[in-house]
A and B are shown apart, each in its own frame.
Chain A
Amino acid sequence: MDKKQDLLQGTLDVLILKIVALGPIHGYGIAQRINQISKEVLQVQQGSLYPALHRLENREWLTAEWRDVNGREAKFYTLTRAGRKQLQTETQNWERLSDAVSLILRAAE
């Protein structure tokens, strides 16, 4: 199996929310951050990053504004109040799920 794992379906959203929660950031930056933080284990399919960003923006979890980066315009995303709430919920969900999964895995040993 490849060392680099594909992202579990649906987890991309919560990762994006988490990264954006750390401060305004553009799409390329998010891709880089996910790679860095996950010590390059997780590779974001860059193609799926932008639809996900648009989905989150539509749901009003993210807002975006255009800022200048070295003379070029880049779209920077920030978390909304609703997005922050969503991140909390998602994180809790995720923790519950992973707890449950490891519990099952351990019990099965």
Chain B
Amino acid sequence: MRWIKALLGRRRAERELDKELQFHIEELVAEKIARGVDPAEARRSAILELGGPAQIKEDCRDVRLLHWLEVWLADVRYGFRGLRSSPAFTLTAVLSIALGIGANATIFTLLHAALWKPLPVSEPKQLFHMQRLSSDGWTGEGGYSWVLYNQMLEAGRPYGEVFAKAGTAMRKFSVDGSQQDRAVGESVSANFFNALQVGPFLGRTFEPQDDSVLGGRPVAVLSHAFWQRRFGSDPGVLGKTVLYEERPFTIVGVARPGFQGVDAESAVDIWTTITATAPKEWLTGPHWNWMTLFIRLRTGVAPQEAHTALDARLRRHVTEELLPGAGAYYTRILQAQKFTLRPAAAGLATTGRRYQKPLLVLMGVVGLVLLISCANVANLVLARNLSRQQELGVRLALGAGRGRIVSQLMTESLLVAITGAALGMVLATWGSRLLLGLLPASRIPWAFDLRPDTTIAALGSSAAILTALLFGAGPALRACRAAADRITTGSSRVTQRGIAGKLLVSGQLALSLVLAAGAGLFLATLYKLATTDLGFRPERAWTADLSYPRGTSDDRKAQTMREIVNRLQARDPQALASHTFPNVYDHGGWSTGIGIDGREPAKGEDNEVCSFGVGARFFETMGIPLVAGRDFTKRDEGDGPAVVVVNETLARRFFGSTPPLGHRVMQPQPKKQFLAREIVGVVRDVHHQGLREPVCATIYIPAAGGTLLLRSGLSQSDVTEQIRQELKQADASAVLEQVRPMRAAVEGMITQERMIAILAAAFGGLAALLAAVGLYGVMAYNMARRTSEIGIRMALGARPGDIRTLVLRESLVLIGAGLLAGLPIALAATQLTRKMLFGLSPGDPTVFGAAVLLLVVVGVMAASLPAWRASRIAPAIALRNE
């Protein structure tokens, strides 16, 4: 653009001005000398007369600056005038761009907040997450024991500070014991705040003495936000004692504002030390691996050096303390584990890393949507510039430079793009919140920081400039050339414009096919997941979590569970109640090694199975069909003979075709003993670990306590009320934490797929709509241009039907060309989604066929209006038009 050129050409202009002034002075001096003035005096007076070159140069600079400002303002004014005079064009163009940029900014905002935004601590680049990964990546991330943490801390000393955090969860919290509350609590090593370099806002953070294996000090640090929210910013909070997990803790400080922990997705309210919160046995042995470790490297330390030392220390720990006495299964896991230092400037990013792949795929999707909107706007601009060719031609003829005209047209495009981008950014702040709503509800409320920051703003403005160039530059140059042609030849090359528009529309259709096929694959995946037989009936089934006061004995908990199950069944004979530990659709049970029929598991033998502890009538309650044998009864729960129910996978693996009923499973007990349990039932396989995981060989053992299960046709609030009432009768000290429909747990497993399917379908639909608008525009324009031709055809005897066929045939050529071009792109692009699909491959012919059909239908619909209109042209009027 001209004003940019003016800005860039500054240095050359300065040089030329120097030369010009020099010439002036030389001439003046020469003239004075010719008149007989002394040479030295001549030079002095010449410079005096000129008024000082520095001053002149300054004035010229002002002129230039003022000039480009003026030109630019004139362009902006001209642009605004032009846009105001055609509101329909402006609105369509701005909205297209706003949707395109808005979709991009939405996905980017979430990606940024979940994955990339640096923690609000100094030098976040020095932070590394110490990962213990099993060979299958993310799913097998191991924790660290307190013993191991201390070993790593020592080993890491020369390179930096190793610090730990654990157990971020909703915790019981109460200020004076009267009102039970929940707060997000996290336990950390005492050097947590110092290593992160997060200072106190009030009081102090933790100090080394707060950690002690003998129990630590019961002190707590509050987050600034929690202190404001819960304590009304009361500075008197220091020294106050609160009940945290039903134990007294003294508040010693409030952390610096803005700091909410090392995971961007959750805002921690209260920190305690690990030693003060964890049970003593967790702090002494190497087998409780539950902590997450980080290291802040010292300035100048290469991560590689630290990695080598820490990796060696971890291996020593594994060889010396874990491998001796480990079973075959655990040995395999330990040996496959890899240690890595993951850069953690953005913190732990738990959810961000889990959703990275789908979010990146969606980023690609919205990128395509933006391209399609740009193509659409480019088409609009082409048509618009064409209608202005007369005006542009006149201005060229009057001596306006081509650069000038291109600059004006581009300024107009830039105005559209900037307005669209601004609107898009507003849409994005709203859209990213909506997107967050599609994520599964987490146990801790999401606390992603979705406020736009400089990165997002930079993205928005560069997107604006990029889109303006994409949709504005081509049409502007073309308009200029066409206008110039018009001057020389008296007519414009309209046909060329037709080709450009057709190419754009075909391109749009090609990209739309990529999106439609992608959306189809995701929708089919979702459908397959949602309709796969889980092995149980989640409908009308509810799970209820109970909690008990600290120190409640297991016997008492078992008693309460028996009592409430009895009460619920007595209250409603239609209802079924049971219990399970762990919950049936969360983690997939404990892993345990078993033996069969008196034979204890041999060392190194793969005999790991999943194990659930369940109550009487569990299978009936869950709707898990029995293949053979019977369900558990109350007697199994009590002191009856030791029994077990196995699933089909286990039966197949350990018994082949022999019926397993009556055989015995040897279940490991503490102190290396085995308990023989008789198999009394075989049940259908249940996808306890999620639909994508293979079914685990599973044993179900009668046990007490756990999560309450209820099958009842009542509504959630009625079920909740019923359980609450009965629980009060059964055990007044127990608290009902939450009641969830089983369906929600099942749906929770496919939220990621649903989110992608919904968004891909929405964006695919948007793309198809944009392509349809583009096709309509091009066909309508072409028909308007060919009015006289069609008039002649009709005058020569063509019927309206023939004309419709003519138009539709041309449209179909466009559609076909676009789809043909799009097919290989779509086939290649969808390969990237292979891992995200379930039950079908990326090139699924049905999905591709449906996508092609959909776009053909949409395209023909878009073309039928111009076709119909063309068939109604009256020949006489058409000819008179010319």
Contact = CB atoms under 8 A, between A and B. Distances in A.
Nearest to B51: A47
A46 B401 contact: no
State the main secondary structure of chain A at its contact with B: helix
A28 B60 contact: no
A75 B63 contact: no
Given A58-B63, A73-B23, A47 B399 contact: no
A74 B51 CA distance: 20
Contacts of A46: 24, 49-51
Nearest to A47: B51
Nearest to B49: A46
A50 B400 CA distance: 24
Interface size class of B (residues with CB under 8 A): 20 to 34
B343 to A, nearest CB: 51
A22 B62 CA distance: 28
Contacts of B17: 50, 54
A74 B400 CA distance: 27
Nearest to A75: B20
5 contacts: A46-B51, A50-B17, A54-B17, A82-B399, A85-B399
Contact of A50 (B49, B59, B71): B59
Question: Top 10 A-B pairs ranked by shortest CB distance?
Answer: A47-B51, A58-B67, A51-B59, A81-B399, A82-B399, A28-B27, A28-B24, A46-B50, A51-B63, A75-B20
Interface in B1-25: 6, 16-17, 19-21, 23-24
Given A45-B51, A47-B50, A54 B23 contact: no
B442 interface: no
Interface in A25-60: 26-28, 31, 45-48, 50-51, 54-55, 58-60
Contacts of A72: 23, 26
A80 interface: yes
Interface residues of A, number: 24
Nearest to B27: A28
A55 B19 CA distance: 18
B23 A47 contact: no
Given A45-B51, A47-B56, A55 B63 contact: yes
Contact of B24 (A27, A54, A55, A80): A27
B574 interface: no
B214 interface: no
B20 A27 contact: yes
A86 to B, nearest CB: 10
Contacts of A47: 50-52, 55-56, 59
B19, B20, B401 — which one has the most chain A CB atoms within 10 A of its CB?
B20
Contact of B60 (A26, A54, A59): A54
Contacts of B60: 50-51, 54
B712 to A, nearest CB: 83
A65 to B, nearest CB: 11
A26 B19 CA distance: 12
B56, B62, B400 — which one has the most chain A CB atoms within 10 A of its CB?
B56
Contacts of B62: 51
Contacts of A85: 398-399
A59 B63 CA distance: 11
Contacts of B63: 51, 54-55, 58
Nearest to A83: B399
A73 B17 CA distance: 12
B730 interface: no
Interface string B385-417: 000000000000011110010000000000000
